[in-house]
Amino acid sequence: MIRGKFITLEGGEGVGKTTNLAFIKDHLQHHNIPVVVTREPGGTYLAEKIRHLLLDADSEDISEQAELLLMFAARAQHIKHVIEPALVRGNWVLCDRFTDATYAYQGGGRSMKASIIECLENLVQGTLKPDLTLLLDAPVEIGIDRARKRGAFDRFEIEKISFFERVRRAYLLQLELHPERIKLIKANQPLVDVQRAIVDTLRVLLR
């Protein structure tokens, strides 16, 4: 059985990850590719419980270390029970956020050291890395404006603009560090143009 491909979608608030996840799934299925769609934090029973704890805006103050460790605890479950088995079955995995989000939010947003994140990445993932990461990028105000129209805010969405500016910069740094894996998609253009850029980028994997 040929191992499936692992595709992740990344970007700040409201850049269109969820919207485009559905589009990519349809596009891959149109090419007769079996796809598993999932998200982080989450994707398994335990990881979804951890997600709930992490996003709860009424939670007690969560320390930066606890937040980071919970992200990786959820990821360990997700890899073991969903991602790795699907790839081994030959399915492609399409995941809404993965470890680049940790570098962006805990590294950039919370200013935690990249070397600590890297340690946990190695521990939890071993050699597993996405084959392709689509980084949807837009000015912070545009994404926040889109996301906040949806109503109630989670524990991340209540952060200040400066937090999201650091997140965006950290994502762009990841792009600089891993240009072979991460591809930039400009998300501040009409959806039809965003999706055209996504299809162009996916062509390499579909060959």
Binding site for ligand Z5A (CB under 6 A): 11, 13-19, 40-41, 71, 96-97, 101-102, 105-106, 146-147, 154, 156-157, 187, 190-191, 194
Our CA dihedral for 103, 201, 41, 88, rounded to 10 degrees, sits at -110
Considering beta carbons, is residue 89 or 113 the nearer one to ligand Z5A?
113
Q: Which residue number, 2 or 49, has a Cβ lying nearer to ligand Z5A?
A: 49
DSSP for 175-195 reads HHH-TTTEEEEE-SS-HHHHH
Question: Closest approach of Cβ 124 to ligand Z5A, in Å?
Answer: 11
Cβ 185 to ligand Z5A shortest distance, Å: 10
For ligand Z5A, give the closer residue by CB, 90 or 128: 128
Length of the chain: 207
User: Which residue's CB is nearer to ligand Z5A, number 34 or number 162?
Assistant: 162
Q: State the nearest-atom distance from the C-beta of 111 to ligand Z5A, in Å.
A: 13
Phi, psi of 204 (to 5 degrees): -60, -45
Cβ 24 to ligand Z5A shortest distance, Å: 12
Hey, CA dihedral for 107, 189, 184, 39, is it positive or negative? positive
Minimum CB separation from ligand Z5A for residue 149, in Å? 6
Q: How many CA atoms lie within 13 A of 2 on its CB side?
A: 6
| Distance (Å, whole) CA 12 – CA 143 | 7
Q: Which is nearer to ligand Z5A, 35 or 74 (CB)?
A: 74
